[in-house]
Structure 1
C-alpha cells in the first residue's frame, strides 16, 4: 500500500525557492497545515529593499495567509528554516553550513522562483529564470537523499503552438550556449538581436521558461524530475481563504482597473476560451506531483499541464461579464469613474476607443489638475495601463488547447478523503461564486478595503453611476447640438452630395443621398 500524502511527507525535508511569491506563500502554508508531520521546510531568501533574510522570513510568517496557523498551530513555524541566499548568485550564495545541511537532509525540491515580468530584458530574464534554475539543479545534484525535483514552468511556454501536450518540446536555442553568449555579448548588440532570438515566443518570460525546460531535462538521469505547467494563476478558490490574492498581475489588475473605471476598452476575442487556474489548485498540484514522482521514481521526466482544458470551458466574454456583475455589487470605495466600457475584437476599433476613453480623458484630468495647481498623474497611469494591457491582450486574442491527462490523473492516485484535502478537480469550481470571491478578494487583500466600507462604497458607486449618466447625456446633447447648429445637418448633406457627384458622376445621386439620409 502506498502511503497517503500526509504520511509521505512525514519526516521529510523540503527545499522551496520563491517562497515570498504568490504561489510560494500558499505552498508553504499548505504544507504546514495539511502535512503536520513534515520535518523541515527550507526557504531560500535574499536580502531585499533594506531587509535582511531574517526580516523577510518574519514578514512572511506574519502575513495574513498564516493567520489560521498562528492561531491553531503556532508551533509549526519552528519547522521553517531560512536559507540565506539568492538564485542570482554563484552557488546560490548560501553558506557552507547551510549547503551541507541541505546535501545531507533534503528530500524534495520545489523550484518556483522566477522573474514573472513579461517585459524584462533578455539578459536579466535568462539570469533569473534559466541560470538561476541551473544553480538549483546543481545543488540538487549533490543532495544525498533527494527523491523528487519539481520545476514550475508555464503552460504558455510554447505560444506558437495551438495545442500543448504534456511532453518536452525542443528548445529554440541550447540554453547553455545562450547563457554563454549573454556573458560576453554587449548590451547594445543584445538589444538588437533580442527580437530575433525570442521570435518563437511573445516575450522574454515565455522564451526563458521554454528553454529552461530543456535545461531541466538534461538532469533527468540524475534524480527524479517533474515539471508543472500552470496556466494563468489567479485568486484562491478555497484556501487559505476564498478569493485570496496578493498581487496585481494579469486578470487581477484587469478586475481592479475596470472596477475603478480606469480601463474602459480591451482588445479581446470574446468567443475564445480562457484558461486560468486558482493558486490553491496549483499548490495542491505541486504537492501531489512531488508525491507521485518520489513514489514512482520514473526514468523519464514527467510534465503536468495544470490547466482547465477539457474540464472547465469558459469564454472570455463570460469571464468579463461575471467580473462586471460582481464589481457592481461589491464596488471599490475609491474609483476614478463608474465601471463601463466594452471589449473589442478588432485592433483598430480598440485603438480608437483607447484614444477616446483612455488618452483624451487622461489629458483632460491632468489639465484640470494643472489649472488647480495640483500634481498631475493620469497620463502616467494610463501609459502604465496601456503597457500592461498590451502584454495581457496577447493572451486574450489567441486560443490554446492544453492536454492535461497527467494532471487529471493525480486525483486517481489518492483516496477520496485526500482529494478533499489536496483538491485538483477543476470541474467542481462554480465560476459565478468564484468570480464573486475573486472580486471580494481584490477589495480585501489587494486594496485593503474592510468589509465595513462596503455600504459607503455602494453609496459612492450610485453617485458615480448618476454622474456617468448625466455626463453621457450632456456629451451626446453637445454633439447633437454641434451637428445641427454649428455644422448644419443640411450643409453636411449638401457637401456629401457635391463630393459624390464629382467623384462618381452619378446623375441620380440626389435620390441616393436622400435615401441614405
Structure 2
C-alpha cells in the first residue's frame, strides 16, 4: 500500500474537521512519499491560509508526525475555496491544480442535524456537485472518494443498511434546480414533504449526495465511504484523542459532566461506534481498493462495529463506571419528567436571578441547545439498525500483514469496556471538559 500512495497527488476537503485532521496526520506520518497533499479550506476570519496552516499544525495531534516527518510542510499545499459557492470560489490557478490530482477524498460537509434543508443542500450537495464537475476535466483522477455516513439511509421505514446506493425521493439535479429557484423560506415550507421518511436534513442530504456521486461512475472511479458513530482515537497517534463534540462523544460529555440529568435509550440499540483513527485507516484502505480493482460501478463501504457490537446502554454504563446509573432510563416519560425537574427548572431560576441582577440571561438558551442536540441523537440511540459491512471485512482479509499493521482498522480487537471506561479522560485532556465520575 505504501508503494501505491508513493508520488500520488491527493486532494482532501474537510481536512480541518475531526476525521479530516486525523486523516491528514496519518497520510503525512505513514505515507511520507506522497507527492503533494492539497487541503481545500475556507478563509477563516482575518487569517490567511499561511497563518491558518501554522495554527493547524500546532495541534498536539501532529507532534508525532512532525517528529517522524519534519519536512512534511513541503508536501502540504493549502487551497482557498468554499464548498457553498459556484466553482468552489476557486482561482483559475487552483482550479487547474485540482484538475491534476490523482485522488480526491471529499470529507467536507455540515454535520449539524438541526440545520434546515436549504443549509444542508448548500453545504453538502452543492459543494459535492461543483467538485465533481471540476474533476470531470481531470484526466489523471484515479478515485473520487465521497465520505458519507452509515446513517445516510436511516429512514424511519428502514431497519437495515446494505452496501448499495439507495434511490433518493427526488433526483439530485431536480433538488439543485429547486434550491436555485426557491427562496429559503419556500424551501422550508416543502421540507417536511420531501423528508417525511427521514429523521433530519443531514441524513436526507447525504442520501441525495450519494445518488449524485453515483451518476458520475461512467466518467471516473467513484467510492462512497460510510462510517458509523465516530468516537475518540483508539491508538493513533495517541489514545483517546478527540476534537469533535458531535454524536456519541457529545452524549458522553453531557452525561459525564452531569449537565444532563437523564438520558433515554433503548437497552438493545447498537451504537455502531468506530474510533476516528481506525476510521481514517479504513478510508485509506478503501481508496486503495477502488484504484486497485478499477471497478466500473460505485463501490460502497459501510464501516461499523457490527462484528464487535456495543449498545448505547453499555457505553453509558462503561463511561459512568456505574452499571446501575440513574442517569439512564428506557422510560420516555420518566426521562422527560427528570429533565424538566432537574435541568429546566434550575436553568429557569438561574435566568430569573440573572434578570433581576441585570445580567444577560443565558441558561434557557443553553437548555434549548442541549434539548435540540439530544432530540437529534435520540432517534439513533433508539432505532434498531443493522448495517452490513462485508466490503471492508473483505478488504481486511485480503491485506498483507504489513498493510494490516500500517492501517489497522479491525474493530474486533477493541475491548469496548476498557475503551469507553477511559474515553472521558480523553475528553478532559483534549476538550478541556471536566468529567464528574
Q: TM-score range by the shorter chain?
A: over 0.9
Find out whether 1:185 has 2:182 as its counterpart: yes
- Give the gaps of 5 or more residues in structure 1: 329-338, 450-456, 463-517
Find out whether 1:51 has 2:53 as its counterpart: no
CA positional deviation for 1:340: 6.6
1:173 maps to what in 2? 170
Q: How many angstroms apart in 2 are the aligned matches of 1:224 and 1:190? A: 33
**Contact in 2 for aligned 1:264/1:340 (Cα 8 Å):** no
1:198 maps to what in 2? 195
Q: How many angstroms apart in 2 are the aligned matches of 1:198 and 1:53? A: 38
Q: How many angstroms apart in 1 are the aligned matches of 2:185 and 2:393? A: 46
1:76 maps to what in 2? 72
CA positional deviation for 1:200: 2.0
**Contact in 1 for aligned 2:229/2:271 (Cα 8 Å):** no
2:295 maps to what in 1? 298
Find out whether 1:17 has 2:13 as its counterpart: yes
**Contact in 2 for aligned 1:263/1:341 (Cα 8 Å):** no
1:116 maps to what in 2? 111
2:261 maps to what in 1? 264
1:212 maps to what in 2? 209
For the aligned residue pairs, the C-alpha RMSD in angstroms reads 2.0
Per-residue CA deviation, residues 392-431 of structure 1 (Å, 9 max, x unaligned), is 1111111100110001112123211221220111000111
CA positional deviation for 1:49: 2.6
Find out whether 1:401 has 2:389 as its counterpart: no
Q: 1:442 aligns with which of 415, 427, 432?
A: 427
Q: How many angstroms apart in 2 are the aligned matches of 1:411 and 1:343? A: 36
Taking the TM superposition and a 5 Å limit, the aligned residue runs for 1:462-501 are none
**Contact in 1 for aligned 2:125/2:205 (Cα 8 Å):** yes
- Once the two structures are overlaid, the 10-residue window that deviates more, 374-383 or 436-445, is 374-383
CA positional deviation for 1:370: 5.3
Per-residue CA deviation, residues 244-267 of structure 1 (Å, 9 max, x unaligned), is 111211222222222221101112
**Contact in 2 for aligned 1:16/1:44 (Cα 8 Å):** yes
**Contact in 2 for aligned 1:258/1:340 (Cα 8 Å):** no
State TM-score, norm by structure 1.
0.81
SS where residue 437 of structure 1 aligns?
A: helix
2:339 maps to what in 1? 354
Provide runs of 4+ in structure 1 moved above 4 Å. Answer: 367-376
Q: How many angstroms apart in 1 are the aligned matches of 2:269 and 2:252? A: 19
CA positional deviation for 1:368: 4.8
Taking the TM superposition and a 5 Å limit, the aligned residue runs for 1:265-280 are 265-280=262-277
Q: 2:63 aligns with which of 52, 64, 67?
A: 67
Q: How many angstroms apart in 2 are the aligned matches of 1:204 and 1:84? A: 27
Aligned positions, number: 435
CA positional deviation for 1:367: 4.2
- Give the gaps of 5 or more residues in structure 2: none
1:153 maps to what in 2? 148
Q: How many angstroms apart in 1 are the aligned matches of 2:342 and 2:94? A: 55
| 1:90–1:373 Cα change, 3 Å | closer
Per-residue CA deviation, residues 313-365 of structure 1 (Å, 9 max, x unaligned), is 21222111001018x9xxxxxxxxxx974223232222112211111122233
1:499 maps to what in 2? none
1:287 maps to what in 2? 284
1:323 maps to what in 2? 319
1:365 maps to what in 2? 350
SS where residue 200 of structure 1 aligns?
A: coil
SS where residue 167 of structure 2 aligns?
A: coil
Q: How many angstroms apart in 2 are the aligned matches of 1:401 and 1:135? A: 33
Q: How many angstroms apart in 1 are the aligned matches of 2:367 and 2:119? A: 26
**Contact in 1 for aligned 2:29/2:68 (Cα 8 Å):** no
Per-residue CA deviation, residues 363-395 of structure 1 (Å, 9 max, x unaligned), is 233445556666543322222111111111111
| 1:368–1:95 Cα change, 3 Å | closer
CA positional deviation for 1:149: 1.1
1:239 maps to what in 2? 236
**Contact in 2 for aligned 1:270/1:343 (Cα 8 Å):** no
Q: 2:245 aligns with which of 242, 245, 248?
A: 248
**Contact in 2 for aligned 1:43/1:83 (Cα 8 Å):** yes
Q: How many angstroms apart in 2 are the aligned matches of 1:73 and 1:186? A: 49
CA positional deviation for 1:290: 0.9
Structure showing greater relative contact order (alpha-carbon pairs closer than 8 Å, 6 or more residues apart): 2
CA positional deviation for 1:299: 0.9
Q: How many angstroms apart in 2 are the aligned matches of 1:116 and 1:183? A: 22
SS where residue 37 of structure 2 aligns?
A: strand
Q: How many angstroms apart in 2 are the aligned matches of 1:371 and 1:126? A: 43
Per-residue CA deviation, residues 196-231 of structure 1 (Å, 9 max, x unaligned), is 111121111100000111100000011111100011
Find out whether 1:389 has 2:385 as its counterpart: no
CA positional deviation for 1:157: 1.0
Taking the TM superposition and a 5 Å limit, the aligned residue runs for 1:449-468 are none
2:330 maps to what in 1? 345
Larger proportion of helix: 1
| 1:368–1:101 Cα change, 3 Å | closer
CA positional deviation for 1:31: 0.4
